[in-house]
Amino acid sequence: MISLKRVRDEARDLLELIVVPGLAAVLPWSLCFRVFRGLSRWTFLYRDACNEALAHAQRLGFVSDPVQWQRQRRLVTLIDHADFFLATTRSDRWLRRHVVVQGRWPAAEAAGVLCTFHWGAGMWGLRHARASGLRAHALVAPHRPELFSGRSVRFWYFGQRNAVVARTLGRKPIEVSRNLRPVLQALRANDQVLAAVDVPSDQVATSESIDFLGLRARVPRGLLRLAVDSRVPVTVYLTGIRLTDGRRMLSIHQLGRAESVEKLVSDTFALLQEAVRADPAAWHFWEVAPRFFEPASASASSSAQRVD
């Protein structure tokens, strides 16, 4: 027998992941964005995730106006989910009209590592990379039903989102856990590999302790170690959102080849730190922030600087 909680969870997922962001598939984007800005006042949307994210961001000193912070957080989350629908219904013409680009991608015919973060809304960064000729394989976590117990809508949505990423890039994703052999094969074929590298250190085999947002944090280093060992260049890109009109702000930073993994990790995450300081609410991983920061550092949160 299906429990009442299961029904509520599935209904909420249907609303938050499909029904509301799905408006982007049928409305002109300028109108849809205005609708989304209005809906960002609706505190019911993404309530639990927003409340948890706010609590951690406040504790670490990154919130000055809680109401405005949460409204921005809801809007960013809504647009990130809406991009799933935009990516399947809009052509590259939409990209040229609504994506503002700074920087340039590396040579398409050379092996490389592309890094991004769970900040902003990255789908149109993928589309731009493909349109620029890159042959990138996204690194994705295993998509297993047991990780979505009692949440069939959520399981379907994230499975379809992975499929859209693959279609957008035109290359099969690489499912990785602790085995980097498929990544090496892609690099040897002069393709690129692409990953969001700001995952909690408890999800990876190796990590590096760095200064991050005024605290000590542990961040993954495996892919960046591979880039140094393989002598392939690293490019970092971020896809932010201009909250005045909904345009995507794609910034591309070519870091090139690195001699030291420690410096490469530092340079890579310095770009995320800059982005989070500029727009704290756009970082999707505030709700799991305690898994990033080292316990002794996080307990001394008064040392974190207020940025908004």
What confidence tens digit (pLDDT) does each residue in 151-162 have? Answer: 999 999 999 999
Per-residue pLDDT, 52: 96
Residue 102 φ/ψ, nearest 5 degrees = -125, 130
- Interatomic CA distance for residues 1 and 18, integer angstroms: 25
pLDDT digits (tens, 9 = 90+) for 67-119: 999 999 999 999 999 999 999 999 999 999 999 999 999 999 999 999 999 99
| pTM for the whole structure | 0.92
Q: How far, in Å, are 89, 119, 255, 280 from residue 274 at the CA level?
A: 32, 11, 16, 10
251: helix, coil or strand?
strand
Return all residues near 241 (Cβ < 8 A) that are at least 6 apart: 75, 76, 79, 120, 121, 247, 248, 249, 282
pLDDT beneath 50, residues of the chain = 300, 302-308
- Helix, strand, coil in percent for the chain, rounding step 5: 55, 20, 30
The residue assigned the tokens 């949505």 is 157
For 77, residues 6+ apart whose C-beta sits below 8 A from its C-beta are: 45, 46, 49, 50, 284
